Amino acid sequence: MEDGESSDGLNGHNYKKLFSEEDSSGDEQPSGSEQEQRQVFVSMVRREPRVKNKVVAYCLAVLAIALLVVDIGLGVFYNKLTTGQRTVMDINSELIKLQTSHKNAIQRRDDAKKELASERNHQKQQKWEMENLVRREKDFKEQLDKVHMEIVALRSHMPVLEEGCRRCLTGWIFMNSMCYYLPFSDTAVRKTWQEARRFCQKYKSDLAVIDNNQKHLAITELINRFQNPSRLIAHSGFWIGLHDTEVEGIWRWLNGRNLDLPFWNDGEPNDLYGEDCAATYPRENPFKAWNDAPCTYHLRWICEMAGKPFEM
Ligand code: MMA
Ligand code: CA
C-alpha cells in the first residue's frame, strides 16, 4: 500500500473529489456509463461503514443477548443454589429438631421403662403380699375352725365339769361316776409309786384301778389330749393301781383283784430293771398303753375315788 492511501484503497484526494463531484450536480454533465460507475462507487463507499456498523451492532446485540442469557442462567443457578442452600439449612434444622425429638423420645422411653420396671416390682410386691394375706387368711380360718371345734368340745364337757364340781373335789375330774386327779402339768412334781399312792390316800382315794374298757379309753383320751408330744415317752407315764410286788409276774389291782384285761405295750411287762409297778402312757393305740417300771421311778400318777352321790 502506498503513502496517503487508506486501507480501502482510496486516497484523501480521490475521496474529496468524489464528494465534490457529487455535490456539483449539473455543472459538467459526465457521460452515462461513467456516471453509473461513479454512483456505484459512491454507493459502495457510502455503504461499507454502515455494514460494518451493522455487523458490530449485531455482534454487540448477540453478545448482549448471550450475556443476558448467561446472566439469567447465573441468576437461575444462583437462585437454585440459594434455594438449595436454604433447603439444606432447613433440612439441617429439621434434622436437629428430629435428633432432639428422637433424643427426647429415647429419654421418655427409658423413663417409661424405668417406671414400668418399678411398677412391675411394685405389682410383684403387692402380689406377694396378697398371696401372703390369702395364705394367712386361710391359716386364720383353719385356726378359727379349730378354736370353734375346741369350744364345742369344751362345751360338751361343761355338764361333766358342772357335775364334777358337784360330785368331785376342786381340781378333780368327773368321769363315769368316778372322780380322777391327774397332775397334767409337764413340770408337775413326780413321785414314786408309793409316794403317789400316799398322795391319793390323803384325799381318801387310791391309784386308779382301770379294770374295764370304758374307763381305760376315757383315761387314755384324757392323757393323750394333755400330752406334750415332744416329751420322751419314758417320762410321760402315770402310775396306776396295778403291781406284781407280791408274786412276780402276777399282776394285781389295788382292790385285790387280779388283772384280767391287760393293755400292755408290745413286749411288756418285761421286768427289765426289777419292774413291779405299772404305769399308763399316752399312746395313739390305747390298747398298747402300759409298761412295767421300777416302783422307785418318779412319774406322774392318777388318783381315783367314787364321786359323791348326786344331791337334788
Ligand atoms: C425302758 C423302761 C422299761 C421298758 C423299756 C421298753 C429302757 O427301759 O421304761 O420299763 O420296758 O423302756 O423299751
Ligand atoms: Ca418294762
pLDDT at position 34 is 60
Residue with cell 502506498: 2
pLDDT at position 230 is 61
CATH number of 172-306: 3.10.100.10
Query: Does the beta carbon of 299 lie inside 6 Å of ligand 1?
Result: no
Q: What is the mean pLDDT of residues 281-300?
A: 95
Radius of gyration for the alpha carbons in the chain, expressed in angstroms and rounded: 71
pLDDT at position 163 is 80
Say if residues 291 and 268 touch (Cβ distance below 8 Å): yes
What is the distance in A from the centroid of ligand 1 to the CA of 180?
Answer: 26
Say if residues 304 and 209 touch (Cβ distance below 8 Å): yes
Instruction: Tell me the pLDDT band of 2, cut-offs 50, 70 and 90.
Output: very low
Q: How far is it, in rounded angstroms, from Cα 161 to Cα 182?
A: 15
Share of the chain above pLDDT 90, in %: 54
Q: What is the mean pLDDT of residues 241-251?
A: 98
Query: Does the beta carbon of 275 lie inside 6 Å of ligand 1?
Result: yes
pLDDT at position 309 is 85
Domain residue spans of the chain: 109-156, 172-306
Query: Does the beta carbon of 265 lie inside 6 Å of ligand 1?
Result: no
Q: Would you list the DSSP string of the chain? A: --TTB-TTS-BHHHHHHHHHHHHSTTSS---HHHHHHHHHHHHHHHHHHHHHHHHHHHHHHHHHHHHHHHHHHHHHHHHHHHHHHHHHHHHHHHHHHHHHHHHHHHHHHHHHHHHHHHHHHHHHHHHHHHHHHHHHHHHHHHHHHHHHHHHHHHHHHHHHHHHHHHHS-TT-EEETTEEEE----TTS--B-HHHHHHHHHHTT-EE----SHHHHHHHHHHHHHT--TTS-GGG--EEEEEE-SSSTT--EETTSPBP-S--BPTT----TTS--EEEE---SSGGG-EEEE-TTS-BEE-EEEEPPPPP-
Which residues, at least 6 apart from 216, have a Cβ–Cβ distance to it below 8 Å? 210, 261, 263, 280, 286, 289
Query: 26 versus 139: which is more confidently predicted?
Result: 139
Of 242, 243, 272, the residue with max ligand 1 atoms within 8 A of its CB, to mutate for a pocket test, comes to 272
Say if residues 300 and 237 touch (Cβ distance below 8 Å): yes
Neighbours of ion ligand 2 (CB under 5 A): 268, 270, 272, 275, 291-292
What is the distance in A from the centroid of ligand 2 to the CA of 292?
Answer: 4
Q: Whose CA is nearest to atom 2 of ligand 1?
A: 293
For residue range 229-243, what is the model confidence (pLDDT) as tens digits?
Answer: 566 666 789 999 999
What is the distance in A from the centroid of ligand 1 to the CA of 303?
Answer: 23
Among 148, 255, 243, which Cα is nearest to 193's? 243
Instruction: Tell me the pLDDT band of 15, cut-offs 50, 70 and 90.
Output: very low
Model confidence at 20: pLDDT above 80: no
Give the position, in ligand 1's atom list, of the atom nearest the Cα of 275: 10
Query: 42 versus 221: which is more confidently predicted?
Result: 221
Q: Whose CA is nearest to atom 12 of ligand 1?
A: 234
What is the distance in A from the centroid of ligand 1 to the CA of 27?
Answer: 188
Residue-averaged pLDDT of the chain? 84
Query: Does the beta carbon of 206 lie inside 6 Å of ligand 1?
Result: no
pLDDT at position 19 is 42
pLDDT at position 4 is 39
Q: How far is it, in rounded angstroms, from Cα 193 to Cα 174?
A: 23
Instruction: Tell me the pLDDT band of 39, cut-offs 50, 70 and 90.
Output: low
Instruction: Tell me the pLDDT band of 154, cut-offs 50, 70 and 90.
Output: confident
